[in-house]
Amino acid sequence: MREQRKELCASLNEKLFLCPEIHPETPALNEIRPILWDNGTLKLLDQTRLPAEQAIVYLNDYRGAVAAIRDMQVRGAPAIGVTAAYAVVMAAKELPTDDRTVFLNALREAGDVINAARPTAVNLQWAVRRMIEVAESETEMGRVNERLLAEAKTIQAEDEAINRRMGDFGKELMPDGGSVLTHCNTGALATSAFGTALGVIRAGWEAGRRFQVFNTETRPFLQGARLTSWEFQQLGIPATLMVDSAAGIMMQRGEISCVITGADRIAANGDTANKIGTYSLAVLAKENGIPFYVAAPTSTVDLSLASGDEIEIEQRAGEEVTHFRGAPTAPVGVEAINPAFDVTPHRYITAIVTESGVVRSPYVESLKLAVAGS
């Protein structure tokens, strides 16, 4: 039976990115893993093509990985962190290792290029820093590439384990008999596997809690409509899609029991940058007396920033607002502004689910403990 299942997984692997060899103990057929390192090639499930097509991007050099992050073929804070780690592996492979200083300087330069791919999600810089530190700690140059690959694989495996832990902690927050609203895509596609906020919803569902799920379409890139709705379908969890601007009426009419989102960067005081529209949801939740939860690994916490005012907000091309897949959705020549993220002040956040546990205000203290305990 297990062999049969493995064979089926292998044949579906190119389609759904199922990868039983990464997690032999959980070879669920509907497990989505969007990032695969396959013998020197980085394979990504192209998130710009979903849900219409399950296409794979094949990458053999780090510049390609930078482009894939920038163009959002891979997206979501933890997923771009994992991709960045493999990008460092590919950058290192291009470099001669005979002179350690020259190698390290060139690797740091490549690290800067990778870091610049997208500015808001701190997981990218966190992963690059972790990888460069591994290279710096290796004095035996014959071993450096092998060490880097092992570290990237560890970052990827840890991410999944962390998400499952967050799911365990967060499932208690899922309202049996109620309803949950989520924003953007925070599922397996945004991570190595399982997801953050979507992972918590999944864990609640798997624990037998039954609640209605609503997800926003998430203009303009439609991560909610295209990716989250697709993931819920793969998981067999019924979810209802709504336009972003329906959140107000849904909360006002008592249709939402709680909101849960992911995060791209959390400042030391708990202020949280996440997909544009998150702040509006949090304000609406407070106005309507609804708990607002964030789920994020501690690699998303940036203790070097005192508050969210210091978080750089990525501005993306106006064409993402005026066009969809090349087709205009606004008059030709119209100007559009396109901030990709916003910052939710900590006072709107009821609790943050991390792999160290569920933390609450005062976040200055609780986040520090969560990071130390991770």
Provide, rounded to whole angstroms, the least separation between the CB of residue 328 and ligand MRU: 22
Cα first-last separation, the chain: 37
Cβ-based neighbour number of residue 44 at 10 Å: 23
Q: For residue 345, what are its two tokens?
A: 């002040």
Among 270, 261, 299, which Cα is nearest to 366's? 270
Residue of 159, 244, 264, 302 marked active site: 264
Residue (of 188, 148, 146) closest to 167 by Cα position = 188
Applying CB under 6 A, the span of 30-38, 89-97, 153-161, 185-193 interacting with ligand MRU comes to: 185-193
Q: What would the DSSP string read from start to end of 68-80?
A: HHHTTSS-SHHHH
Q: Which of residues 217-246 bind ligand MRU (CB under 6 A)?
A: 223
Among residues 77, 90, 201, 260, which is the contact residue for ligand MRU, using CB under 6 A? 77
Q: Among 75-83, 248-256, 279-287, 325-333, which window interacts with ligand MRU (CB under 6 A)?
A: 75-83
Stretch touching ligand MRU by CB under 6 A, among 21-29, 69-77, 150-158, 323-331: 69-77
Q: Binding ligand MRU by CB under 6 A: which of 83, 196, 229, 354?
A: 196
264 is catalytic: yes
What's the rounded Cα separation, in Å, for the pair 218 and 222?
A: 5
Collapsed DSSP state (helix, strand, coil) of residue 137: helix
Shorter beta-carbon distance to ligand MRU: residue 274 or 366? 274
Per CB under 6 A, the segment of 105-113, 125-133, 188-196, 351-359 that binds ligand MRU is 188-196
Alpha helices by DSSP H, listed for the chain, are: 2-16, 62-70, 77-93, 100-115, 122-137, 144-170, 197-206, 229-235, 247-252, 278-287, 319-322, 363-372
State the nearest-atom distance from the C-beta of 275 to ligand MRU, in Å: 3
- For 129, 170, 173, 203, 209, the CA distances from 301, given in Å and listed in that order, are 14, 17, 21, 22, 29
The reply on whether position 264 binds ligand MRU by CB under 6 A is yes
Pick between residue 192 and residue 366 the one whose CB is nearest to ligand MRU.
192
Q: Which of 262, 270, 308, 357 binds ligand MRU (CB under 6 A)?
A: 262
Beta bridge partners of 339: 315
Residue 310 vs 314, nearer CB to ligand MRU: 314
Nearer to ligand MRU, 222 or 256 (CB): 222
DSSP letter at 288 equals T
Describe the chain by its helix, strand, coil percentages, rounded to 5. Answer: 45, 15, 35
Q: How many CA atoms lie within 13 A of 31 on its CB side?
A: 25
In this structure, how many other beta carbons lie within 10 angstroms of the beta carbon of residue 53?
A: 9
186: contact with ligand MRU by CB under 6 A: yes
Return the range that interacts with ligand MRU (CB under 6 A); candidates 14-22, 71-79, 320-328, 359-367: 71-79
Kindly state the number of chain residues that form the binding site for ligand MRU, as judged by CB under 6 A: 18
Q: Can you tell me which of 50, 68, 121, 239 binds ligand MRU, judged by CB under 6 A?
A: 121
**Which C-beta is closer to ligand MRU: that of 223 or that of 350?**
223
Task: For residue 240, give the nearest of 317, 182, 287 by alpha carbon.
Answer: 182
Of the two residues 18 and 184, which places its CB atom closer to ligand MRU in the complex?
A: 184
Of 142-150, 166-174, 257-265, 318-326, which segment contacts ligand MRU by CB under 6 A? 257-265
Question: Which residue minimizes CB distance to ligand MRU?
Answer: 262
Choose which of 162, 281, 340, 359 interacts with ligand MRU (CB under 6 A).
340
Question: Counting contacts by CB under 6 A, is residue 75 touching ligand MRU?
Answer: yes
- Measure the CA angle with vertex 294, ends 292 and 299; round to 5°: 165
User: Which residues face 214 on adjacent strands?
Assistant: 181, 240
What phi and psi values does residue 84 have, to the nearest 5 degrees? -60, -40
Among 125, 257, 274, 322, binds ligand MRU (CB under 6 A): 274
Tell which positions 9-68 bind ligand MRU, by CB under 6 A. Answer: none
- Which residues are catalytic, by number? 264
By CB under 6 A, name the binding residues for ligand MRU.
75-78, 121, 184, 186, 190-191, 196, 223, 261-264, 274-275, 340
